[in-house]
Structure formats: structure tokens, C-alpha cells
Amino acid sequence: MALKKELIIEIGPDGEVKIKTEGFKGTECEEELKPIEKALGEVKSRTRTSEYYQQNIKKKTNVSNSTE
């Protein structure tokens, strides 16, 4: 079962935007946020969670066709 990935966006009364990611591993969250950050402007701060330091494990499957 695939893990749920979420972006939680908060906009404060002063216009400050906070974005929290959940379910992303490693730098995957930063890649997902690039277009949003570019559209919003300058990033003032970034806090990395423990998920950032986890590896994104990708399952690799090898398929071979034997004709012997």
C-alpha cells in the first residue's frame, strides 16, 4: 500500500505562507515544493523533519525472459 503524501498550506492573516509536507522521504519533499516556492517568492526559513533524513526506498523489479 502506498503511503499518503500531503502538502498542508497555511496562510496567516499577515499573508505569511507556511507549508508542511507529510509522507515524503528524503529530498522528495523539496522537489515537490520547488514550483510552489517559485510562485510564492522568497523562502525565509526551512525546517527539516525526521522524514527528510530517511531514504526514499524504491522497489526494483528485474524481469527476465528465458527461452531455454
What is the tens place of the pLDDT at every residue in 23-62?
A: 888 888 889 999 999 999 889 899 888 888 887 665 555 5
**Cβ-count burial of 32 within 10 angstroms (0-12 exposed, 13-18 middle, 19+ buried)?**
middle
pLDDT in tens, 6-31: 999 999 999 999 999 998 888 888 89
- The Cα 34–Cα 23 span in angstroms is 17
* Nearest to 56, CA basis, from 17, 20, 25: 25
Is 0.95 surpassed by the pTM of this model? no
- The Cα 27–Cα 51 span in angstroms is 9
Give me the residue spans of the domains in the chain: 17-53
Residue 32 and residue 21 in contact, taking contact as beta carbons nearer than 8 Å: yes
